Amino acid sequence: LPDAFLDFLKENGLDPSIYIPRYIRLKPGLLELEAEIKCKPEKVVWLPGFFSIPPHIQIASSDVYRQGKIYGMDAASGAAVLALNVTPGDNVLDLCAAPGAKLCMLSDLLGSSGSLTGVDVARHRLAACRTMLQKYALGDRCRLFVADGTSFSLLPLRFKEWTPKRPWKERKKANKARPELIFYGRHSGVIGISKSELGYDKVLVDAECTHDGSFRHIQKFEHWGWKTLQRRVLDAQRTDTLTHLQLQLLTNGFRLLTAGGSLVYSTCSLTVAQNEDVVEQFLATNPSAELREIDVAKNWPCRSGRIPKTLRFDPLTSQTSGLFIAKFVKL
């Protein structure tokens, strides 16, 4: 690792040689996993459905993975989804859905009721979400939109399709600006706009960040080049741009939330600027937002963030990738 990144880890109290196990999530009732991947997975006692396996184990070539029976997903990411407390019947929005592991877990939690809307600005990354939904047979209640999460505005719809009455040229312009639908489950509701809709019951904003808390991501820079790391992770100007984006995503996600609904904001960055600072800026300008305790976190191996009621996972405390979680309720 380059000196600049070693200094970054030191500032955040992290040992670069820390051992981090790999995590997987299982579909209920799977019994053949141990024989298939040739190791004994250890149950993650604080996170239902998750198991840890040695990092050298390759699951991509196993039948259970190809058949859509196990998911590769870090335990901290699973905690962010669980913090949202999704229940059957909820209308859920995943505002930064790619690459799709959290989207699939949200769909599993919803079961056979409610709806799930996934949004991402990158079409090729959202296409990967579509592939995952199809692989795991989870798409019936999900729709995916290629759109900018800072301005996405389609609400969960249950009524008849909206029919525009504007002139043809105006309709053409409006339709061109609307999000691109690339996946539509058969029980996903009606596509359109309706002022009578109240909003989403639950919103997940797992915002774009520098990914410095993910050691697997940092390892990629061995191939991409360490100068790229300097530009994409450690550069102050890039961080400023990202924090502005994160605040916009959080603000728009909260705008789409129904009164009494819950929103979880998370990043896999270790920095205060992309986490606590964003939360403080958001709370200062949104009086109807209230930071809430994450009830399910009582036995989680994490620590408090700089702001009370926020949580931080990191390799030393949690043996997971780094992740920040804050939960809001709309009053």
Q: Is 212 annotated as a binding residue?
A: no
pTM, entire model: 0.87
Q: Is 148 annotated as a binding residue?
A: yes
List of residues 6+ apart from 196 with CB closer than 8 A: 159
Whole-number average pLDDT of the chain: 86
Q: In this predicted structure, which of 95-109, 138-152, 157-171, 205-219 has the lowest mean pLDDT?
A: 157-171
> Within the chain, where are the H helices?
3-11, 33-37, 63-66, 75-83, 101-110, 123-135, 168-177, 215-219, 221-224, 226-229, 236-255, 276-285, 315-318
Nearest to residue 21, comparing CAs of 321, 303, 323, 324? 321
Q: What is the pLDDT of residues 107-157, one digit of tens each?
A: 999 988 899 999 999 999 999 999 999 999 999 999 999 999 999 999 886
- CATH superfamily label, 1-330: Vaccinia Virus protein VP39 (3.40.50.150)
Q: In one letter, which amino acid is 153?
A: S
CA distance 59 to 300: 26
CA distance 94 to 206: 8
Q: Which of 59-68, 144-153, 164-173, 216-225 has the highest mean pLDDT?
A: 144-153
User: Quick check: 248 pLDDT over 70?
Assistant: yes
Domain boundaries, the chain: 1-330
* Cα radius of gyration (the chain): 20
CA distance 141 to 116: 6
Q: Choose, from 96, 104, 142, 268, the residue flagged as catalytic.
A: 268
Establish whether 268 is a catalytic residue. yes
Q: What is the DSSP letter of 225?
A: -
How many Cα neighbours within 13 Å face the side chain of 276?
12
CA distance 70 to 84: 22
Q: What is the DSSP letter of 324?
A: E
CA distance 204 to 264: 5
Question: 238: which 2 tokens?
Answer: 């890039």
Q: What is the reported pLDDT for 31?
A: 59
Nearest to residue 110, comparing CAs of 204, 250, 205, 208? 204
Question: 87: which 2 tokens?
Answer: 């229940």
What proportion of the chain, given as a percentage, has pLDDT over 70? 82
Contact status, residue 162 vs residue 193, Cβ threshold 8 Å: yes
